[in-house]
Amino acid sequence: MKKAVLTIVSVVLISMPAFGWGWAHRMIGYIAQEHCTPATREVLDRYLDSPLNNIALWPDIFRCRLWAPADFSDAPNYTFKSWEHAVCVGPDYYPLKESNRPEGNGTGYGATLDYIERLRNYKEMTDSAVVVDMTALVHMVGDNHCPGHILYSKPDGTWDPMGGGIAGGYGIYTHSFKGQKRTLHAMIDGGDAIHSEFGKNLDKWKDYLDGRYWDQRDEILAGWVGEWLQDAAIRSKVIYEWVQPGQALDDSFYTDPEHEALLSYLFAAASYRLAHIFNTLFDPEYQGL
């Protein structure tokens, strides 16, 4: 089962063009695996035939229905839905397990907790179910740290149409960028546009992020998933102050130091937090990064 899943993923990824946050998903998976303990890597290798950076886009591909869901009939716990790609946060920026959006979007926090809780008993699960939950977790940790996937509430706790991220088009500013119309969400998702001098070299990205944030890892890992997403939401809210609706933008949007600092922090935080989750789940002797 796992070989079939990952073979399909590999073929599809080879045929897909490079695109924004997809690159960040791969980077996060790569750096996370580099910080997994040997015991954790042994468990990952037992179930996965490909490294985390190669499977990180699988939930997006599955969402596109490029193959039949029936292929995963022996993974009964897999209840993936498109609205799990975003997280609703309350007025205090703490994530909500359930959506407060009229279309139901933003349930990523509850879904992430479900993946983790199921994997605590991974030895009792079917191999295919473990593969699916591992892969979904890799992707969702990246999504949940993406500013465009954080959906904000108003002070009274109701949904905020101007803090909408990917929620059905709500609150998305459209801008002219090099003659094309692009949404703020799409531009923030375009994490590969910063540090273009690194190209697609994963080791260069790892060295850069570790050099900048590794000494902060204890602070970054304080708390658990709820506190981590609250941290991401507090930091990310500034994106709605960066530009005005309809403002024409250029490459400086990606190279602005404030923009680079936010995205770089979120990349590192997602990587370390993903490694921490897997080490906590799969290495009984794990004491911390």
Report pLDDT digits (tens) over 93-132: 999 999 998 888 899 999 999 999 999 999 999 998 899 8
Look up the pTM and report it: 0.87
Please tell me what DSSP assigns to residue 90: -
Give residues with Cβ within 8 angstroms of 29, minimum separation 6.
51, 52, 53, 54, 55, 56, 138, 142, 274
Superfamily of domain 2-282: P1 Nuclease (1.10.575.10)
Going by pLDDT thresholds of 50, 70 and 90, the confidence category of residue 19 is very low
Residue 66 has pLDDT above 50, yes or no: no
Residue 59 is predicted with a pLDDT of: 77
Give residues with Cβ within 8 angstroms of 123, minimum separation 6.
none
Report pLDDT digits (tens) over 265-276: 999 999 999 999
Residue 80 is predicted with a pLDDT of: 53
Give 174's strand partners: 183
